[in-house]
Structure formats: C-alpha cells, structure tokens
Amino acid sequence: MEMKLITESSNFYLVAAVILYFWACRIVNCVWLRPRRLEIWFKSQGYKGNPYRLWYGDLKDVAKMTMDVQSKATNLEDDIDPYVLPFHHHIVQKYGKRCYMWNGAKPRIFVMDPVWIREVLQKHEIFVRLYTNPLNKLLITGLAVHEGESWARKRRILNSAFTITKLTVMLLQKEDL
C-alpha cells in the first residue's frame, strides 16, 4: 500500500515537473531566444537598431524621452517631429531609414522608403497588423483598424476622393477663405 502511494505521488511530481519545464522553455523562448534570433536576422537583412533588452526592450527609453519632451516648451516655428514621437525620431536619426525598435519583446520595424510603403499598402494580405489591445476594434473606427478585403474596399473609396485634381481644388478653396 505504501509503495503504491509513493509511486502515485512520484508520478504526480514527475508530470508537474514536465509541465513546469515546458512552460519555462516557452517563457525563455518568448522573452529571450526569439527576440535574439530576430535581432540577428534583422542585422543580416541590413536593419539597424538598439540591442534587445530583457522584458522592456526600448520602452523605458520611450517613456523617458516622452517625459523629457513634454516638460519643455515648444515654439510654433520648431519642427514638430521630435516633439510628437521623440524616440521614433531619435531612432530614425541615429540608425537611418532601415531601423527597428523593441516594443517589449516584439520588434517594430520602421518603413521609411516610399517604394516599401507602397508595397506594404498594396500587399495588405501579407503585411498584417498586430493588435495588442482587443478594445481597439471596438473603440477606434476608420481605415486604420480595417484589414483584408474590408480595408481594400474602404481604401478604394478613399482613393477616388483624394486625387491630385480634387486636392488642388480643395487647397485653392481653402486659400480663398
């Protein structure tokens, strides 16, 4: 009877240890190994950026730069880029148009070349958006939250509204006011 009890409890601990081991492996993979592999892959593709830092990535620097900029007064004549997204502006100035930043354990790639921007916008099935907050779909409406065919349909409608001729007419009317 005692031998059976010892065997059952040791089986329970063995199963618990295996489950704990797999969870630990998944956490290490998500938090350390995958970001390091992505960083190596980005470097091989010619992207530049800050090295990955455990858990936070560049989020502490983003918060610090944002607080620094908000504490300063701005002039109307100043360039607005460093004030709106200071860390993004800093990364692009430091590393160029092919750069990335770490949003926690997930990278964010900056697409600054007009040819690449056009490719991303035209191939909306390949380049999908990743949403971190599920409330975005409920609270935010418009072209920014649509994906797939819904996005393509709305973009076609908007493209006809914002042609060069219509924009020039709107600007001329605005100047007349």
CA 50 to chain centre: 15
Do both 95 and 131 map to the same domain?
no
Do both 92 and 149 map to the same domain?
no
Question: Which pLDDT tens digit goes with each residue over 136-168?
Answer: 767 777 777 777 788 888 888 888 888 888 888
Do both 135 and 157 map to the same domain?
yes
Q: What are 106's strand-pairing partners?
A: 103
- Find the angle CA(123)-CA(88)-CA(114) to the nearest 5 degrees: 35
Number of C-beta neighbours around residue 76 at 10 A: 5
Domain termination site, one of 92, 112, 132: 112
Lowest mean pLDDT among 41-45, 52-56, 76-80: 76-80
Question: Which pLDDT tens digit goes with each residue over 102-135?
Answer: 998 989 888 888 888 888 878 877 877 766 677 7
Do both 87 and 26 map to the same domain?
yes
CA–CA gap between residue 116 and residue 104 (Å, rounded): 25
Do both 108 and 132 map to the same domain?
no
Share of residues in the chain with pLDDT > 70 (%): 92
Do both 89 and 143 map to the same domain?
no
Do both 17 and 92 map to the same domain?
yes
Helix (H) or strand (E) holding 110: strand 106-111
Q: Of 1 and 94, which is predicted with more confidence?
A: 94
Do both 87 and 76 map to the same domain?
yes
pLDDT higher than 80, residue 7: no
Over residues 9-25, mean pLDDT: 90
Domain termination site, one of 97, 112, 127: 112
Question: Domains in the chain: how many in total?
Answer: 2
Do both 44 and 131 map to the same domain?
no
Do both 2 and 66 map to the same domain?
yes
Lowest mean pLDDT among 37-41, 51-55, 162-166: 162-166
Task: For residue 12, give its domain range.
Answer: 1-112
pLDDT higher than 50, residue 35: yes
The first and second tokens of residue 145, run together, are 């939250």
Domain termination site, one of 112, 130, 159: 112
pLDDT higher than 90, residue 70: no
Do both 101 and 154 map to the same domain?
no
pLDDT of residue 171: 84
In 3-state terms, what secondary structure has residue 125?
Answer: coil
- Confidence tier at 3 by pLDDT (50, 70, 90): low
pLDDT of residue 1: 47
pLDDT of residue 4: 60
- Confidence tier at 61 by pLDDT (50, 70, 90): very high
Do both 94 and 117 map to the same domain?
no
Q: Work out the mean pLDDT of the chain and round it to a whole number.
A: 85
pLDDT of residue 130: 67
